[in-house]
Structure 1
Amino acid sequence: MAVVTSATEVRGKRWWREVGWRYPVAAVAIVYAAFPIVYILSASLSDRGTLTGSNRLFAEVSTSQYEQLLATMFPTWVANTLFIGGVTAVGVVLMGGAAAYAFSRFRFAGRRQWLTGLLLVQMFPQMLAFVAIFLLLLSLRDVVPVLGLNSQVGLIAVYLGGALGTNTFLMYGFFNSVPKELDEAAKIDGAGHARVFFTIILRLAAPILAVVGLLSFVATFSDYIIAGIVLQSQDRLTVAVGLYQFISGQFDARWGIFAAGAVISAIPVLLLFLFLQRYIVGGLTSGSVKG
C-alpha cells in the first residue's frame, strides 16, 4: 500500500510539474484578458452614462446608451470604417501579393537591394511621417481633390502605402514555399504570368492572404492618429475618431455612449477573426523558415 501511494504521489507531482501548473496560469490570463471586456460591457448597459460608481458589474441593465448612440452619426462612422477597412484590406492583399510574386519568381537587377530597402523603410517610426502626410494631402487637395485632405480615398492611399513593405515580406516568404514547378507546368500549357498569379498562386496562398487582409483590416479599423489627421468632416469620420469626440471634453465626457460604441465596434472584427481563424496559424507560420 505504501508503495502504491508513493507511486501515485510521484505521478501526481510529475503531472503538476509538467502539465498541471498551466491550468492556473491559463485561468489568470483569461481573467486578466476578459475583465476589461466585461467591465466595458457592464458600463455600456448602465443607465448612469458615466464610469463613476460603476464598480458593481451589471448592477443595472439598460439599453439607453445604445439608443442614444444610434441617434448620433455612429452608423455613418461604422459604414465609413467598413468601407475604408474593406477596400484597404483588398488593396493590400492585391498590391502586396503582386510585389511578393515579383520578388519571389522574377530575377532582376537590384532585387535584393529593393527588398532590403522595403525592410529599412518599415523600421522608421510611423509618427515621423505624420507631418509629411498632412502637407502632402494638403497640397494634393488643390490639384487632385479626391486624393487630398478630408478624402476617404486619400486615407486609403496612405494606408496602402504604409502597409506595403511589411505585407510584401510576409507574402514573399510564403510564395517561396510554393513549388516553382507549378508555374512551369502552367506556362507549358500556355498560361501567362497574370494567369499563374491569379489562378494558382493566390489560391495556394489563401492562408497568408487571409492573415494579411485581417491584420490590415484590424489596423485600419482601430487607427485614430492618421484618420484624425486626414478626415475632418463629421460625415466622413471613422469609428475611432468619432467615438473619441464623446470623451474629449473635460467636463462632459459621455463614457456610457463611448462604451456602447466600443462594444458594437468590436463585433465586425470579432466576426472576421472567427471566420478566418482556420487560416491564421498556417498563414503566420508557413514560409517562415524557407525563403
Structure 2
Amino acid sequence: MSNLRPGAPAARGLIDNVAAQDDELAASTSGRGTAGVRGVAAAPRRPFKRYFRETGWRHLVAIAISLFAIFPLLYVLSASLNPGGTLLTANSLFSNTSIDSYLTLFSSDRQPYGAWYINTLIIGLVTAAGTVLLGALAAYSFSRMRFTGRRFGLTTLLVVQMFPQMLAMVAIFLLMVAIGDVFPAIGLNSQIGLIMIYLGGALGVNTYLMYGFFNTVPSSIDEAAKIDGAGHARIFFTIILRLVAPILAVVGLLSFIGTSSEFVLASVILIDPEKQTLAVGLYKFISDEFSKNWSVFAAGAVLAAILPVALFLALQRYIVGGLTAGSVK
C-alpha cells in the first residue's frame, strides 16, 4: 500500500536530526544562539538610545557619585605625601611625593602620635563593647518584659536624645572635677572617666534602635527555651544575641566611629598629651598660628582612617545579612 521501502522512516528521521543539529551549530557559531541552552536564541542587542534611557543614565550617575566620593580621599592622600606642608601646593594631585610627613608623626616628642593612636583604639573599642552590651540589655528588657513605666521609659529615652550632649559640657566638667577629688582614677584627666561619659550619652539612641530590632525576633523562640528550663540570662546570652548580631555590629561600628572622631568632650576631659585621642592630638598640628603643618595632619588622618575601615570590613558579613531569617518555621 505504500511505495516507501522498509526502514525509510527511520532514515528520514535520522536525516532530520542531523539537519537540526547542523542548524543549532550554525546558530551558536554565528552568535544567534545561547550557550548551553538548546533552541533558545539570544535577545537582540538594544539600540543605544534605549540602553541609555533604561540603564545607561544610572551608570553615569553612579560614576559621578563615585568620583565625588573618591576625590576628597585622593586629595587628603596627596596632601599627606606633599613635603611642602601646605594645602596650596597639593592642588595638583601627587605632583610631589614624600613619606617625610609619616616619619614626622612618630618622631616628635612633643606630639606622641603613637600614644594617641593606642588611646583611641582602647577608648573606642571599650566604649563600643560597653555600648553594645548595655544597649542590648536595656533593649531586651523593654522588648521581652512587661513592667510599670515601660512606655514612659522608652519615651524618655527618645526625648532625651533631642538635647545634644554638648549642652551638658560645663556640668560634666564640674562633675568630673568633683569626682576626681574623691576617686582620681575616674575623674578629670582620666580615660576611664571619658569612657563612662561616652557610655552614658550613647545609651538612649542605641537602646531605642536595638528595641525595634529585638521586636522582629519571634517570641516563640523565648517560649521554647523557657519550656526547656532556660532563664532570661541564658536566653539572652546564648540565643538572642546570636540572632540580633547584625544590629549589634551596626551599633558597635557607629559607636566606635563616633567615639574615635569626638573632639569636644575629649579635649575637655583629657589634659595630658599622653592620654589624649587622635581627634584632639591631630588638632595640635594645625592649631599653632605660625607652625601649621597640613601635610603631617593629613598623614595622621590617613592612618586614623585605618581603624574604622578595618572594623567595617571585619563586621561586614554581619551588617549585610540578617541572621533572624529562617529562625522559626
Unaligned runs of 5+ in 2: 1-43
Structure 2 counterpart of 1:58: 94
Query: Are 2:63 and 1:24 equivalent residues in the alignment?
Result: no
* CA shift in 2, pair 1:54/1:10, >3 Å: closer
Unaligned runs of 5+ in 1: 1-7
Paired residue secondary structure (2:129)? helix
Structure 1 counterpart of 2:292: 253
TM-score under structure 1 normalisation? 0.91
Aligned counterparts of 2:264 and 2:246: Cα–Cα separation in 1: 30
Query: Are 2:199 and 1:160 equivalent residues in the alignment?
Result: yes
Paired residues of 1:208 and 1:282 also in contact (CA < 8 A): no
Paired residue secondary structure (1:97)? helix
Offset at 1:282?
Answer: 4.7
RMSD between aligned alpha carbons?
Answer: 1.8
Offset at 1:237?
Answer: 0.3
Structure 1 counterpart of 2:79: 43
Letter in 1 for 2:307: P
Paired residues of 1:122 and 1:166 also in contact (CA < 8 A): yes
Give the structure with higher Rg (CA): 2
Partner of residue 93 from structure 1, selected from 104, 121, 132? 132
Letter in 2 for 1:232: I
Query: Are 2:221 and 1:182 equivalent residues in the alignment?
Result: yes
Alignment of 1:75-94 (within 5 A): 75-94=114-133
Query: Are 2:271 and 1:235 equivalent residues in the alignment?
Result: no
Paired residue secondary structure (2:97)? coil
Letter in 2 for 1:28: A
TM-score under structure 2 normalisation? 0.81
Letter in 2 for 1:27: I
Aligned positions, number: 278
Offset at 1:11?
Answer: 5.5
- Structure with more relative contact order (C-alpha pairs < 8 Å, separation 6 or more): 1
Structure 1 counterpart of 2:175: 136
Q: Which has the higher helix share?
A: 1
Aligned counterparts of 1:109 and 1:18: Cα–Cα separation in 2: 56
Structure 2 counterpart of 1:263: 302
Structure 2 counterpart of 1:120: 159
Which deviations, in whole Å up to 9, do the C-alpha atoms of 1:235-282 show, x marking residues without a partner?
100000000000001221011110110000001111111221232245
Paired residues of 1:46 and 1:61 also in contact (CA < 8 A): yes
